[in-house]
């Protein structure tokens, strides 16, 4: 290859790389809220009041008591969202969960384990609200068909055992029938002991497998669920306590509750009686399908190979 052709090929390679960087679908941010942008103070816990000015995690409902944003007390003593008993938060804007480019979505939330009673049952739920009617409705006692939640439930109150669960609710008193089978987790372990006053990160990927011919037959696939210990300051440790090692697909029959636009609200719920009163660093991001990226890469590589041979 001559110097001119080599120079031209390098120039085209750089151009192709820049094209790839600007064309490959990036993760689409649905929610990114560490509460530092929400005004410090009390929020009305009975009306689904907008939480500050951030449109991505907007409506907050406290089911028994008032809600607060504090300027401290979060990860590394940053701003945090505080509630004392039940809380439900949903994004103000919907996301098309049947999107063929972004059907898989990653969820992550940090929480501090601070139960104020010995009650058992679901204390953290993260996922989708399939209806705005979830405002003001308990995520633990009613409304199975209006939510798809992945979360933790407290199964024992002496050693504070928490178990990974799923469903429209996570079980007020034990949650029988909502558990994700233990065989999908490393070592067959879907439970762990939590330490009071410790920060944890709960994260997972959730894919909606929409059946357009029969929405009620739509299914969900859960992958990469992880519960990590981040110490008393939210920055120390990082030990993985629960780790999902193979995808879990199931059909709860919730697909027929979606509206015609397949719109769903990112949704986070917490229960202070059973587990958490402080929430921080909530992130929900859509993941582009590997096929989309792969086809683009293949096309660019073929174009570069063809030009190199010329």
Signed CA dihedral, 77, 92, 121, 110: sign only: negative
**Helix (H/G/I), strand (E/B), else coil: 106:** strand
pLDDT in tens, the chain (310 residues): 454 543 444 355 444 443 344 444 568 998 888 888 788 988 877 777 777 666 566 677 777 677 889 999 999 999 999 988 888 888 888 899 999 899 999 999 999 999 988 888 888 999 998 877 777 666 566 566 778 889 998 989 899 999 999 887 776 554 445 789 999 999 999 999 999 999 999 999 999 998 888 888 889 999 999 999 999 999 988 899 999 999 999 988 766 667 678 889 899 988 888 889 999 999 999 999 876 555 444 444 444 444 444 4
The closest of 224, 267, 221 to 242, measured between CA atoms, is 224
pLDDT at position 88, please?
84
pLDDT at position 33, please?
86
Query: What is the number of alpha carbons within 13 Å of residue 173 lying toward its C-beta?
Result: 0
CA distance 140 to 138: 5
Q: At what angle do helices 3-23 and 290-309 cross, to 10 degrees?
A: 170
DSSP 137-175: S-TTTS-GGGEEEEEEEEEETTTTEEEEEEESS--TTS-
pLDDT at position 7, please?
44
Region label for 150, one of left (φ > 0), alpha (ψ between -120 and 50) or beta (otherwise):
beta
């Amino acid at each position: 290859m001559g110097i001119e052709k080599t120079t031209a090929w390098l120039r085209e390679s750089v151009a192709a790389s820049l094209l790839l960087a600007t064309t490959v679908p990036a993760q689409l941010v649905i929610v990114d809220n560490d509460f530092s942008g929400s005004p410090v103070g009390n929020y009305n816990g009975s009306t689904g009041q907008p939480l500050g000015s951030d449109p991505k995690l907007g409506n907050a409902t406290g089911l028994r008591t008032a809600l607060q944003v504090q300027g401290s007390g979060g990860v590394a003593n940053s701003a945090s969202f505080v509630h004392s008993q039940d809380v439900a938060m949903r994004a103000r804007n919907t996301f098309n969960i049947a999107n063929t480019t972004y059907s898989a979505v990653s969820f992550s939330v940090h929480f501090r384990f601070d139960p104020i009673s010995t009650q058992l049952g679901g204390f953290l739920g993260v996922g989708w609200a399939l209806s705005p009617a979830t405002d003001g409705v308990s995520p633990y006692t009613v409304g199975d068909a209006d939510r798809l939640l992945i979360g933790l439930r407290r199964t024992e109150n002496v050693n504070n055992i928490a178990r990974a669960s799923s469903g429209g609710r996570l079980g007020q008193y034990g949650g029988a029938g909502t558990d994700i089978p233990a065989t999908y987790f490393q070592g067959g372990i879907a439970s762990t002991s939590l330490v009071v006053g410790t920060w944890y990160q709960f994260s997972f990927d959730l894919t909606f497998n929409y059946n357009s011919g029969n929405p009620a037959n739509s299914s969900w696939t859960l992958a990469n669920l992880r519960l990590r210990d981040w110490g008393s300051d939210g920055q120390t440790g990082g030990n993985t306590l629960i780790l999902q090692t193979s995808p879990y697909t199931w059909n709860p029959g919730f697909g027929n509750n979606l509206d015609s636009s397949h719109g769903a609200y990112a949704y986070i719920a917490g229960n202070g009686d059973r587990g958490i009163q402080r929430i921080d660093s909530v992130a929900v991001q859509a993941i582009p399908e590997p096929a989309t990226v792969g086809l683009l890469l293949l096309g660019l590589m073929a174009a570069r190979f063809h030009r190199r041979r010329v």
